[in-house]
Chains A and B, each alone.
Chain A
Amino acid sequence: NAGVTQTPKFQVLKTGQSMTLQCAQDMNHNSMYWYRQDPGMGLRLIYYSASEGTTDKGEVPNGYNVSRLNKREFSLRLESAAPSQTSVYFCASGRATYEQYFGPGTRLTVT
């Protein structure tokens, strides 16, 4: 039981490049989330998916898109990366908002 896995662990992009962050969970959870963590700001919700086939914006969705590929997988895409998107990205899954399990994170640097 791997829990929540994220790939890649580290990534460096140039401004304007695109990339997709992958997240998968093996706990049969309906809900999945993407957060970003910046120094002094805690974690902020980017997008979430309450169930397979649905996605909704969180607090900071601009510049991102998501896909809930199936019940297990929830990807986050940066179409045109900007330095302001330098951050640590966490995926989480859970049966409900009040029960979330977090992945190990992806550290992204945009130069």
Chain B
Amino acid sequence: AQSVTQPDIHITVSEGASLELRCNYSYGATPYLFWYVQSPGQGLQLLLKYFSGDTLVQGIKGFEAEFKRSQSSFNLRKPSVHWSDAAEYFCAVVSADKLIFGTGTRLQVFP
């Protein structure tokens, strides 16, 4: 079964700095991969998804992610972080027709 690992529990960046959140998926056929964001006290919102094709995926709120098969990774990036990006970010993969989530990365943004 597919799974995802988010190695960073907590990341702190300054506003305006670039951001990269890591996600690694387990071995398998081309996975269906997702990034979700959860603002404090809110539900999850889909940022972007990858099924096939172009390995660089654009999402909402200025986020992008790159699928790298050689590294089993699907890292989320943003060139310039805003204070409103402070939230928890979850990587997810479809496995056996179910959505399997990583443990999340909490992003803190300093002014």
Q: Which residues in B have their C-beta under 8 angstroms from that of A97?
A: 94, 97-99
Interface of chain A, main secondary structure? strand
Q: Report the count of interface residues on A (CB-CB < 8 A).
A: 21
Q: Are A42 and B44 in contact (CB under 8 A)?
A: no
Closest to B104 in A: A42
Contact flag A102-B43 (CB < 8 Å), given A40-B9, A42-B104 = yes
Q: Are A100 and B42 in contact (CB under 8 A)?
A: no
Q: Which residues in B have their C-beta under 8 angstroms from that of A4?
A: 43
Q: How many A-B residue pairs have CB under 8 A?
A: 47
Task: For the complex, give the distance between the alpha carbons of A71 and B63 in Å.
Answer: 34
A2 is an interface residue with CB less than 8 A from chain B: no
Contact flag A98-B44 (CB < 8 Å), given A40-B9, A42-B104, A43-B101 = no
Q: Are A98 and B43 in contact (CB under 8 A)?
A: no
B75 CB to closest chain A CB, in angstroms? 17
Binary contact track B74-111/A, C-beta < 8 Å → 1, others 0: 00000000000000001000100111011110000000
Among candidates B43, B51, B103, residue contacting A42 with C-beta atoms closer than 8 Å: B103
Q: Which residues of B from 7 to 55 have beta carbons under 8 Å from A? A: 9, 32, 34, 36, 41-46, 49, 51
Q: Which residues in A have their C-beta under 8 angstroms from that of B102?
A: 42
9 A-B interface contacts by CB (under 8 A): A33-B99, A42-B101, A42-B103, A43-B44, A43-B101, A45-B99, A90-B44, A98-B94, A102-B45
